[in-house]
Structure 1
């Protein structure tokens, strides 16, 4: 017995000794604070902590596109970690979310810490290791007190792919000595940069839309916890002093006093820590709380106190000399972050009761009375609601479908007028009275109040317009029979089919055509409405006929297996139409299978390229050859029939331009987006010109000169606000469609474009103005006063015929951030339907 007792005592002593000697990051990771840490080293250190401490627990919640792990770590007392599931369930139950109240446990404050959503802002992940160590350090008695009432959920790297891209590059180009001078290559990151994820999406703009796998997996876990505080840790330009709350205006009107108050508490608490160290900082500048898809706003609209912390560091590499002559190092950056983040945890722990009450009142009050003007949102039945339902489900926003008819009146998104309308079966209904009440209202409230036009991001996102569905916002709660889903009857395909019909009305249509092309199956598209018995084929509708595919084995099964994902497909048994639009007529155009070349590299906007790449690779799963612009001369263009030019600056020589001209003339198609259209502007043989006439040009130049003359009498202080009068940070603009042309097929009666640039061209001559901004257009969001009238009767999307080929001009990017659903269909039109 004595030997066993002694052995047990020895084991306990060794265990406590190990805990007492918990290694800090500098002791575990070579060159910590001097060189970027590899992602696998980050994981190794956190694994070490979980092995050595009983106060940390790991959960892998997903993987990235490049198969790196996505992990969170729960940090609290061992007792709290043992009751983690009960604490989570009780937290959800306290705000009316579907969770059963567990055995009685004391309420805890939940603080979620997110680091490195932007991969090249690497001091975030570096600081995450110091934060974890300080919270777990056995000798840190203060932290032990915080954790008695606090669950910390720490995500050390939201974007491992971007972090690793940047880290591998920095490691590869680093020597033994640091080079703080501005012109060393470690301060000049190469294209596409490490900021973005694998598909070059900005994950900090993707919280609500969840187009990317990292976002979808993380927010699924986030919504299972619903923390009271969420901290988003960033870096910005290395010359910038540290930023912490309070946030800048505009602050969304739905943000509660308790959320603003805690921002002020944080500001005071962090400033005290920074003052002691003589660290420079700023508050209430630049970083606002308005656009709903950020790492601070999305949690805010879910009742948390969402906040951003920003350290100067982008482009700093390992060490850089700032404009004030001082050097900033990795160690400096992570120390600033660790101090601020730990102060957030400390402040949350001390404000536990206030935060819990505010958080719970936020949810209960919103259910009693809608924060906005409207109580119900009705979206008319439309195939694009499939994607709408997916987005709502990801955000756990409740919705139903009408199961009866009724009359109602409300705000019509498309006209911005109050109108009477009919609710019909299968219309989608969202009520403000639900657990995610505020988030639902933020996403659907049509008239967001922008109390300061100096916004950091887009200022409008009305989802009915983004998805291309007719929508109404209703002030009262509707009493109508509803159902949870739309039932679709299975189709019985006959043994012999003359042709299949796939409606062209959402992204699934494009996915189907993508798969048909890749299977070598010929498809046609309707130019006008055609009627075959009880089947009406709308413009753009896809026809797959047996006659076009005589060599396709088991035609019905082969085609049926591909198109079955499109639940509204049908088939016809005769090619004879009742309105003189037979299958063999000119009305049904044989579509070419695109052979796509897309250029990448220096000068091209990374995120805009990424949006195109993601669309091709993920949305429609279609092959594309991607070539660096530097290698363009090596490309044999005649191997392709489609060239995608993403937004950017293309430094083509005259010979290269002539090469493209000749290829277009012989049948090539160019899709030129945003600033890429300048390649064709005012060039012989192309219709693209800023002005329709010499008189229009002279008038515009005179107006610009008059504005400059008036500016001479204005004070300097207001220059920033005056300059935004000529800008559009991101607004929704009405476009009139040429519904007879394939670029407009399936988009509805009106297309609403998300415009985030000031580019405006008069309607083009000798070209198809497929979508243009009409006079007196409807708009949502901030449009600068000086540019508002200039947009009247300007073109947004046009098609320019040249020989046997075409150039499609896109002044706006319809694939912006991957969430503009009607834009996805518009781009699909350009790729598949415009021949």
Structure 2
């Protein structure tokens, strides 16, 4: 019995010591509230904690603590809960609605209140946007416990003066993917060798969400439910301070702001934000980390230029976004050049920074609140000084793409109006800086090396025809996209139906009808026909559904047509004659049946998971069409002849000669290979196609000018293409460009794949325009030697088949609605492309 008691004392002692490693200074704690260790059955840092257990613990705190309540703001693609734990004093919590009203008053530009110190400061501690950067979610558990259970006077003071929103896991799907991996390979004793499996995840890793999207790039774009839920919550609360916790390479230390200087020539966020506020908080982070002996660095890395990070989006909402980067243990313990780094050590740094964020925000709450008030007031004053009073836009040919763009504007609380047949966004509104983000383009920059994109004018993502205006006629305000689209109901026909291919949702409607057994053709020339009493012109690609040629009767066919129109809101028309008013007739040889696509995509080691995920997401969520994802490790086993189309996104492909021949033989049989980015370069390098890469002439006599070694990273880095928007000139008569009306469309480039226009005069579908720059940083050298001479999209003949080579990613971050059609045309119409030649 004595032995058992002794063991119990030793166990409790080690438990207490484990907890004290993190929060010794915040004793005493309420014994009625379980610590994370008591709840989980293991000490924080001993294992990686699953998201469901994280949620369960926060739910427990909300149940037993009078300081806490829990809110569910959505679910992930895989159905995991997205939660926020609100923690403050019991008095504040019971009066939260009134405090919220008082807080939001300072975001109203018309509010002149000066009681800045009377309202608690609103702080959002947000964690783990990258799933395989796990230390921060563990720190979230410790932080939640500290504020829910500590009776230390310091903590009680923070609770009286702050409302703290803890978002423990922004990316639950990615976190659980990584958690399962790390725990599966955890050794006992722990293995610190960097080459151990525990420290080297399998493809695609846990960084990304279900569709392999980087959610730390999605705040601006709002494609995924994780981001859309958080944005909806954000615009309900407008927190004053927001944290963004990350991990970086194991061989580093710890980073906190201030960052590297913003790369924009004239940043739209206030200078006070990225200078005064960052330094004010940075000084406190330094003191806190000094006190526990942790090393760190600031200013020399990262930048907040792109507005879609968790650490930059709040800066455009009157708050302060704060980035933290912790050297990762990539598992539970790993050897570095500085010794061993452990999981608990990484957690303690994140925990310390979180507590310090609250401390500093509370200390400066009046300053932060006045800053937010001034931010929204300055939005109105800045807009008033601008000659541009608003932006008008619309695309009469494509209501669904226009609707998607309006949805994006509304997601960011941007005011949108409908005036006759035009949509209007005024600049004079609280979200003026977000209006700038959506529409403004730039050609001059302060910096030349970017952590991410240097171009993000979202209107161009959607190929939206917009223009600035100096006068306004607002019309009616739009608050929802529900019922925004007006499509005339299709009338029944016993002869044929025509579907307008111009609409973004037309491929989804086509897939739906093919899936339900209808035979559908595509028009390879335009025509004008009679629809009821009126004439109607149809563009290249219009879908023709002859009623008499279907296996279903006329009534069943009509019901399917109606169902497709109701689901996808695409213009559809019944016609009673094949004799058209102008152009080809409906029985023309230029109207050709479309086969139902059977598509596969290579994934796995060497493949760029972001791009693969973007293809998967597009087909799943917008076209509702399956795609077979084939791991590279299974390539030798697959029966490739089962597929008519194969997609290869960017990657480092290491095929054997036999595997390469397998692909070339398959294409030559009449099939379609679609390559994107570096996969297109691979196809050229391996001579799968007879195309070339753009290579400028080298001056063999030129002598290199000596430059300082310390500047090498900056000088060489600027030659990369981090992300720019270019103008592409397309051949609208080509099947890949069906659905477009204008020859000039924006395209996104974030690689250095430069295609030489094909020698075949009919094969270059898209070439960069003579004056190609729209937005973003690009060196004069790149523009002159690479962009202007190059093509963006080529079709190359291989036997009876073809390779469709995209130099640029048409599906970038799930947001390029304007170029998605090029890719979807490749899927649905690729087998119809006969590359003409004189051979």
Compared CA separation, residues 788 and 648, structure 1 to 2 (3 A): same
Alignment match, 2:757: 763
Structure 2 residue 239 is matched with structure 1 residue 254: no
Q: C-alpha distance in 2, partners of 1:443/1:91?
A: 27
2:357 corresponds, among 321, 326, 344, to 344
**Map of 1:421 onto structure 2:** none
Q: 2:523 aligns with which of 513, 523, 526?
A: 526
* CA drift at 1:572: 2.0
Cα drift, residue 668 of structure 1: 1.0
**What residue is the counterpart of 1:539 in the other structure?**
540
Superimposed CA distance per residue, residues 105-147 of structure 1 (whole angstroms, 9 cap, x where no aligned partner): 9422111111000000000101111111222233321111112
C-alpha displacement at 1:38, in angstroms? 2.1
Counterpart among 9, 12, 37 of residue 26 in structure 1 = 37
* Alignment equivalent of 1:363, drawn from 364, 376, 379: 376
Structure 1 pair 96/586, CA: closer, same or farther in 2 (3 Å)? farther
Q: d(CA) in 2 for partners of 1:378 and 1:539?
A: 27
User: Using a 3 Å threshold, how does the CA distance of structure 1 residues 130 and 644 change in structure 2: closer, same or farther?
Assistant: same
In the alignment, the residues of structure 1 paired with residue 688 and residue 34 of structure 2 have an alpha-carbon distance, to the nearest angstrom, of 69
Whole-Å separation in 1 of the counterparts to 2:493 and 2:769: 48
1:729 Cα offset (Å): 0.7
Aligned twin of 1:408: none
> 3-state SS of the aligned residue for 1:72?
strand
Partners of 2:249 and 2:327 within 8 A in 1: yes
- Which ranges in structure 2 are unaligned for 5 or more consecutive residues? 1-26, 832-839
After TM superposition, the structure 1 stretch with the greater mean CA deviation from structure 2, 540-549 or 352-361, is 540-549
* Distance in 2 separating the partners of 1:718 and 1:58: 50
Give the match for residue 750 of structure 1: 744
Change (3 A) 1:26 1:684: closer
Match of 1:600 among 600, 603, 611: 603
Alignment equivalent of 1:588, drawn from 588, 591, 594? 591
Contact 2:29 2:151 in 1 (8 A): no
**Paired residue for 1:279, among 294, 314, 334?**
294
Correspondences of 1:462-541 after superposition (within 5 Å)? 462-474=457-469, 476-479=470-473, 481-482=475-476, 484=478, 491-533=488-530, 534-541=535-542
Classify 1:561/1:105 alpha carbon distance in 2 versus 1 (closer, same or farther; 3 Å): farther
Deviations, residues 516-539 of structure 1 (Å, cap 9, x unaligned): 221121222222220103111101
Tell me by how many angstroms 1:393 deviates: 1.9
Give the match for residue 285 of structure 2: 270
Q: Please name the residue that 2:404 is paired with.
A: 387
Query: 1:297 aligned to 2:304?
Result: no
- Cα 1:284–1:797, aligned 2, differ >3 Å: closer, same or farther? same
* DSSP-derived class of the 1:758 partner: coil
Distance change (3 Å), C-alpha of 1:353 and 1:251 = farther
- Structure 2 counterpart of 1:180: 192
2:624 corresponds to 1:624:
no
Q: CA deviation at 1:788?
A: 1.6
Pairing of 1:307-456 with structure 2 (within 5 A): 307-313=322-328, 316-324=330-338, 326-370=339-383, 374-382=388-396, 383=398, 384-403=401-420, 426-447=421-442, 450-456=445-451
Other structure's SS at 1:762 match: coil
1:702-735 CA-partner distances (Å, limit 9, x unpaired): 24x566x314x22212212221342211001111
Normalised TM-score (structure 1): 0.90
Please tell me whether residue 68 in structure 1 is matched to residue 80 in structure 2. yes
- Superposition TM-score, scaled by structure 2 size: 0.89
**Gap change, CA 1:62 and 1:685, over 3 Å in 2:** closer
Deviation at 1:51, TM superposition (A): 2.6
Q: Is the 8 A contact 1:725 1:787 kept in 2?
A: no
**Alpha-carbon contact 2:726-2:775 (below 8 Å) kept:** yes
CA drift at 1:477 = 4.2
Q: Secondary structure at the match of 2:770?
A: coil
Matches within 5 A, 1:750-829: 750-766=744-760, 768-790=763-785, 791-829=787-825
Contact residue 493 and residue 574 of structure 2 kept, 8 A: no
> SS in structure 1 opposite 2:698?
helix
Cα distance in 2 between the residues matched to 1:441 and 1:18: 48
The change in CA–CA distance for 1:541 and 1:490 in structure 2 (over 3 A counts) is: closer
How far apart in 2 are the matches of 1:372 and 1:136? 48
Aligned residues: 782
Quick one: distance in 1 between partners of 2:84 and 2:489?
A: 48
- 1:817 shift after superposition: 0.4
Pick from 211, 224, 235: which aligns with 1:212? 224
Compare 651-660 and 550-559 and name the one that shifted more.
Answer: 550-559
Q: Distance in 2 between matches of 1:488 and 1:609?
A: 31
1:576 corresponds, among 579, 596, 609, to 579
Cα distance, 1:376 vs. partner?
A: 0.7
Separation in 1 of the partners of 2:255 and 2:393? 41
Contact 2:792 2:806 in 1 (8 A): yes
Structure 1 position 739 matched with structure 2 position 722: no
Is residue 299–residue 306 contact of structure 1 (8 Å, CA) maintained in 2?
yes
The structure-2 alpha-carbon separation of the partners of 1:105 and 1:783, relative to structure 1 and needing over 3 Å to count, comes to closer
- Post-superposition offset of 1:546: 1.0
Match of 2:708? Answer: 715
Inter-CA distance 666–573: structure 2 relative to 1 (3 Å threshold) = same
Distance 1:509 1:567 in 2: 6
Provide structure 1 residue ranges, at least 5 long, that are not aligned to the other structure.
Answer: 1-15, 404-425, 692-696
Matches within 5 A, 1:196-235: 196-235=208-247
Answer yes or no: is the 8 Å Cα contact 1:301–1:442 preserved in 2: no
Whole-Å Cα distance in 2 between the matches of residues 429 and 706 of structure 1? Answer: 56
**For 1:538-570, what per-residue CA distance to the aligned partner results, in whole angstroms no more than 9, with x for missing partners?**
012222221342435522122121123224332
In structure 2, distance between residues paired with 1:220 and 1:281? 34
- Is the CA contact 2:518–2:557 (under 8 Å) kept in the aligned structure 1? no
The answer to whether the Cα contact below 8 Å between 1:758 and 1:787 also exists between their aligned partners in 2 is no
- Does the 8 A contact of 1:798 with 1:808 survive in 2? yes
**Correspondence 1:668 to 2:677:** no
The verdict on how the C-alpha distance between 1:483 and 1:128 changes in structure 2, with shifts beyond 3 A counting, is closer
Match of 2:14 in 1: none
3-state SS of paired residue (2:455) = coil
What is the deviation of 1:488?
Answer: 5.8
User: Could you say what the CA RMSD is over the residues aligned between the two structures, in angstroms?
Assistant: 2.4
Distance 1:358 1:437 in 2: 16
Query: Cα deviation per residue 1:224-266 (whole Å; 9 max; x = unaligned)?
Result: 1111111111111111221111122126512224423121111
Give the one of 826, 829, 833 matched to 2:829: 833
Structure 1 residues 490 and 295: CA distance shift in structure 2, 3 A = closer
- Give me the whole-angstrom Cα distance separating, in 1, the residues matched to 2:237 and 2:794: 47
Contact 2:448 2:777 in 1 (8 A): yes
* Residues 673 and 810 in structure 1, CA contact (< 8 A), matched pair in contact too: yes
Contact 2:269 2:315 survives alignment (8 Å): yes
1:690 and 2:693 are equivalent in the alignment: yes
Q: Does 1:85 align with 2:97?
A: yes
Q: Which moves more between the two structures, 778-787 or 59-68? A: 778-787
Offset of residue 495 of structure 1 = 4.0
Asked if the contact 2:263/2:450 (under 8 Å) is kept, the reply is no
Cα pair distance change 1:94/1:725, threshold 3 Å: closer
The 3 A distance-change label for structure 1 pair 339 and 580 is closer
Which of 536, 554, 573 does residue 556 from structure 2 map onto?
554
CA–CA separation in structure 2 for the residues paired with 1:622 and 1:810:
21
Instruction: Say if 1:134 and 1:140, in contact at 8 Å, map to a contact too.
Output: no
